[in-house]
Amino acid sequence: MFSLAKLRAVRALAGAARREATADPASALLLMTAVAAVHLAPAFQFHRLGEPGRLARDGGLSALLVFGGVFAAVSAIRTVGREIESGVAAAALVRPISRTMFLAAKTLGVVSAFARFALAIVFAAALSSVSCVVGSRIEGDDGTACVSAFCLLFGFGGEMLAIAGAAFAHRFMRRGFPSTCFALIMWSQPVAFGLAMLLPGHADAVGEALVGPFLLAAASVFAAVSSFACAAAALSTRLKGAAAPAALAFMAALSLLMPALVKALPALAALRAAVPDFGVFWLADAVSKSAPAPWGAAALPVAAALAVSAFWISVGAIMISNRDVS
């Protein structure tokens, strides 16, 4: 059933989908904006909104959800729907791969690209949170907000350096600007975080800055957005033009309303099989309150994301199997 040749085909398709997702100028712009917002938001806060670093962590999770959600959905629609319409998919579908494999591999490639997007945001949020904690130690807890200038320099400056590096590579090495920019920004954030940890007092702040649930919450948002990417890929096998983004926007609204809807009408809980329920996924509240969140709390969102993803990949496989590809 699973041969080496099929795995090679899946790897080739997923790799091309990942590169396609990161080669789009809109992808680089989304990542650029998200990372800049995560670094700059705490620098412009004038009042503490809770414990040090709360704005940075919640901002990071929001950026992952909103910018990451747009990135994953647009990439999935482009790599599946537009390729079917343009004829690029036909050139792949005449090879020895099934249509289900095509859809699953493309979705895997998009999720892999989103993982890179998430990596940059998580490190940016972590650095920004450390920056807030270090800043609060400098100024004391008197209600004014302050950040570590070095963290801001490494994080935001690193992003600017990445953009300049991409422009240099485009000018002198003929590299594609959007994909190089995306890759350099992605790597700039872990490097900036690592450099910041070498500064006195910064490594000590990590425990306070990255309170337990932050990474769990990030994993949870990642799982939710990945299941949206699966839905986007499945819907774009049939829906043309603006219909797929419109259907996804409706689904996103339903996801946000799901906790209230289920509370009002418990029978609607059955919709959780198809629509991610942010009542299940969203752990930001636990993060903001620094409440202890057991690792078991991650199991539910991941299981929910896997169920929703499996549902949509199955629906997509049925929809693509009998459609004409020109």
Partner 1 sequence: MENVISIRSLKKTFRDFWLRPTVTAVDGIDFDVAKGEVFGLLGPNGSGKSTTIKLILGLLSPSAGKVEVFGSSPRSLKVKSRLGYLPELSHLHPFLTAREAIRYYAGLSGMSSADSARRAEELIAQVGLESAADRPVGGYSKGMARRVGLAAALVAKPELLVLDEPTSGLDPIGTREVKELVRSLAKSGVTVLMTSHLLGDVADVCDRILILAKGKVAAQGRLDDLLSRRDATSFTLPGVTPEDAAAAAALLKERFGRDPEVSHPRISLEQFFVDTVKGGTSATS
Residues at the interface with partner 1 (CB under 8 A): 3-6, 8-9, 11-13, 15-16, 19-20, 23, 86-88, 90-98, 174, 176, 179, 322, 324-326
Shortest spacing between CB 290 and partner 1, in angstroms:
44
Q: Indicate the residue among 48 and 238 with the shorter CB distance to partner 1.
A: 238
Q: Indicate the residue among 6 and 48 with the shorter CB distance to partner 1.
A: 6
Shortest spacing between CB 318 and partner 1, in angstroms:
14
Report d(CA 323, CA 318) in Å as an integer: 9
Ramachandran region of residue 271, left (φ > 0), alpha (ψ -120 to 50) or beta? alpha
Residue with tokens 């398709």: 13
Q: Indicate the residue among 6 and 137 with the shorter CB distance to partner 1.
A: 6
Question: What residues have CB less than 8 Å from 236, skipping those under 6 apart?
Answer: 76, 77, 80, 81, 82, 84, 244
Shortest spacing between CB 20 and partner 1, in angstroms:
6
Q: Indicate the residue among 89 and 126 with the shorter CB distance to partner 1.
A: 89
Taking a C-beta distance cutoff of 8 angstroms, is the pair 275, 281 a contact? Answer: no
Report d(CA 162, CA 164) in Å as an integer: 5
Q: Indicate the residue among 13 and 275 with the shorter CB distance to partner 1.
A: 13
The candidate with the shortest Cα–Cα distance to 216, out of 276, 275, 277, 302, is 302
Report d(CA 73, CA 226) in Å as an integer: 9
Type and span of the H or E element at 66: helix 54-76
Report d(CA 70, CA 40) in Å as an integer: 21
Residue with tokens 């996804």: 248
Q: Indicate the residue among 169 and 223 with the shorter CB distance to partner 1.
A: 169
Write the CA distances from 314 to 35, 69, 96, 101, 261, integer angstroms: 34, 21, 20, 11, 26
Q: Is 315 helix (H, G, I), strand (E, B) or coil?
A: helix
The candidate with the shortest Cα–Cα distance to 214, out of 116, 90, 129, is 129
Q: Could you give the angle at the alpha carbon of 290 between the alpha carbons of 288 and 296, nearest 5°?
A: 105
Q: Indicate the residue among 48 and 82 with the shorter CB distance to partner 1.
A: 82
Shortest spacing between CB 106 and partner 1, in angstroms:
12
Shortest spacing between CB 298 and partner 1, in angstroms:
34
Residue with tokens 């969102």: 301
Structure tokens at 218: 């990030």
Shortest spacing between CB 185 and partner 1, in angstroms:
17
Shortest spacing between CB 28 and partner 1, in angstroms:
13
Q: Indicate the residue among 8 and 171 with the shorter CB distance to partner 1.
A: 8
Shortest spacing between CB 103 and partner 1, in angstroms:
14
Report d(CA 224, CA 251) in Å as an integer: 12
Shortest spacing between CB 87 and partner 1, in angstroms:
4
Question: What residues have CB less than 8 Å from 296, skipping those under 6 apart?
Answer: none
Q: Indicate the residue among 242 and 265 with the shorter CB distance to partner 1.
A: 242
